[in-house]
Structure 1
Amino acid sequence: MRGPDTPSAGPREGAGIAGLSLPYQVVAALALSVFGLLACGQLAMVFLHVAPSNTLTKQHGEAFDDWIYPEFEQNWKLFAPNPLQQNVAVEARADVEGADGRRTTRWVNLSREDGEAIRGSLLPSHVHQNELRRAWDFYTGSHTEENRPNGLRGELSERYMRRIVMLRLSQQGYGGSIERIQIRSAVTAVGAPAWSDEKISTEPVYRALPWWNVTDDDLPEGSGQGQASVGTEGAE
């Protein structure tokens, strides 16, 4: 019978692995060995992945890449992101046919409207944050500087931009049917901080797209706009 001062057969506090029974010591030692080997293997794989070309990478480079991607991909922007250097605003205007004839509206800064919609909001809309910005990136990435599509994605991105812009402009209350739309970007460099001597022009640089005739496929549901013509015209 055990007395009050008799030590128990269980593990002793503060004794570490040595305080475990022999079977538990074996299990703990095996687990530590496995974790140690995995850690050494991970370090070796990362080192060989980022190392300059050598005999091992030439022979087994594909195996190193398979281990690294996509879970352990090296992305230095995570640690040193590139600061914002330009502000890109997407603007649009329209030719409107109304009771008093045809007129061209002023440029509407759609990006500014999105910014005002999310400023101060605790739960900003994903649409206001990303829809227009991603659509413009999609368009510019699938078109040349001369606004010619460089593949099937070019046509898709153009239709996407048309629908977004028509959805926004149809809410402006122009009092007539929108016959044509034109889109442009205004790229403004971020100014240098007050303590810097760097001289940076903050004048906007514009990229205007051609006028697009509005088609029925461009119209948002419930707009009430009648039949539209088909085709595109060159930029003015």
Structure 2
Amino acid sequence: MDSYDDRGVGGGDGRVAGPDSGRVPTVPDPRAEPRTDPDSGPESGPGPETESGPGPEPRVGSEPRTGIAALSFPYQVAAAVALAVIGLITCTQLAMVFLHVAPSNTLTKQHGKGVDEWVYPEFEQNWKLFAPNPLQQNIAVHVRAEITGADGRRTTPWMNLSGEDGKAIRGNPLPSHVQQNELRRGWDFYLGSHDSQNRANGLRGTLSEQYIRRIVMLRLGEHDYGGTVERIQVRSEVRSVAAPAWSNEKISTKPSYRVLPWWTVTAADLPEGAADPKETDQ
């Protein structure tokens, strides 16, 4: 019986028997690309599997630009100008409000009028909400007028000016600061400069009275009473805020009134442009 080597299956030197038994087989390099024959295509036969490595590294500077850098040059200039204007307005607003609430100093003494013109009426600061004893009353300002018309002289019913302001504010997502505070602050101004007998207690008493009369005539001008307003009378209605349902506190919500005397309307009380300039001078 022939041995395994004698049958030409394999030799001791590792060579395979056959026509080309003189050559030693080689192992293909896995990193080498497969050879391609122009007629038959890629080399047939299963090739060694290779692990896919990381792709080529991205080139420096190939990331997409974002933000203002992604805009064209004219838009970049416009965006920079807009940001500068917004920043300037913001800084000015903060500075004006700070000077408004700060104690009296050199800047406020020299430029106090300019600060007040910037702050009032839209940026007024009111800290009553954080006071030790916040306001717990609802105050409404009413007015009635004496009208002279074709049917003679008559007196109108009381008109709730504060109620009209409330209707203008209610449901309005951006109510005017004037609608919210003009009448209320004017009435506070009057109360602070008059005693309980409606007598002025300082130099600002006359000014506060003129302010109230101007506001009232502006509101009356929005209504047609069919005649000329000769006199007006103002009063306030004060009601305490009711206690909540879970509280045992008993608070009376009955209204109390403060009625001012009748005021004769003059040309100075009329809105600008509604009076004869000669009458206003007189």
TM over 0.5: yes
Distance 2:162 2:133 in 1: 22
Is 1:140 matched with 2:191?
yes
Q: Distance in 2 between matches of 1:218 and 1:148?
A: 20
**Number of residue pairs the alignment of both structures matches:** 155
Mapped pair 1:190 → 2:241: yes
Q: Could you tell me how far 1:221 is from its partner in structure 2? A: 3.3
Residue 155 of structure 2 corresponds to residue 101 of structure 1: no
For 1:45, the equivalent position in structure 2 comes to none
Contact 2:139–2:239 (Cα < 8 Å) also in 1: yes
Name the one with the larger helix percent.
1
2:176 corresponding residue in structure 1: 125
CA distance in 1, matches of 2:178, 2:185: 10
Return the TM-score normalized by structure 2.
Answer: 0.51
In 1, the alpha carbon distance for the partners of 2:185 and 2:139 equals 12
Picking from 209, 230, 234, the partner of 2:260 is: 209
- Cα offset for 1:82? 3.8
Q: TM-score, normalised by structure 1?
A: 0.61
AA in 2 matched with 1:206 = Y
The match for 2:44 is none
Q: CA deviation at 1:129?
A: 0.5
CA contact (8 A) 2:144 2:234 kept: yes
Matched letter for residue 91 of structure 1: H
Structure 1 residues not aligned, in runs of 5+: 1-68, 71-75, 229-236
8 Å contact 2:128–2:135 — kept in the other structure? no
For residue 116 of structure 1, the aligned residue among 148, 161, 167 is: 167
Instruction: Pick from 80, 84, 98 the counterpart of residue 135 of structure 2.
Output: 84
Which amino acid is 1:221 matched to? E
Q: Which amino acid aligns with 1:162?
A: R
**Following superposition of structure 1 onto structure 2, how do residues 59-70 of structure 1 map, counting pairs within 5 Å?**
70=103
C-alpha distance in 2 between matches for 1:195 and 1:214: 49
1-side partners of 2:215 and 2:235: how far apart?
A: 14
Give the whole-Å Cα distance in 2 for the aligned partners of 1:191 and 1:80.
Answer: 19
Q: Is the 8 Å Cα contact of residues 145 and 232 (structure 2) preserved in structure 1?
A: yes
Pair 1:152-2:203 in alignment: yes
Aligned to 1:161: 212
Q: Which amino acid aligns with 2:248?
A: D
Encode CA deviations 1:60-118: one digit per residue, 9 max, x unaligned: xxxxxxxxx75xxxxx9776764431001011000000110100001011011111101
Change (3 A) 1:79 1:146: closer
The one-letter amino acid paired with 1:103 is R
Alignment-mate amino acid for residue 191 of structure 2:
T
The amino acid across from 1:201 in the alignment is: S
Per-residue deviation, 1:127: 1.1
1:188 maps to amino acid: R
Contact between 1:84 and 1:190, CA under 8 Å: does it hold in 2? no
The equivalent position to 1:177 in structure 2, one of 217, 228, 247, is: 228
Give the letter for the 2:242 counterpart: G
**Does the CA contact (< 8 Å) of 1:170 and 1:223 recur in 2?**
no
1-structure distance, mates of 2:264, 2:128: 41
Q: Structure 2 vs 1, CA of residues 77 and 142 (structure 1 numbering), >3 Å: closer, same or farther?
A: closer
Letter in 1 for 2:220: L
* CA distance, structure 2, for counterparts of residue 140 and residue 192 of structure 1: 26
Shift in Å, 1:162 = 0.5
Identity %: 70
Task: Check whether the contact 1:179–1:213 (CA below 8 A) recurs between aligned residues.
Answer: yes
Higher relative contact order (CA 8 A, sep 6+): 1
Please state how far the C-alpha of 1:224 moved relative to its aligned partner.
6.7
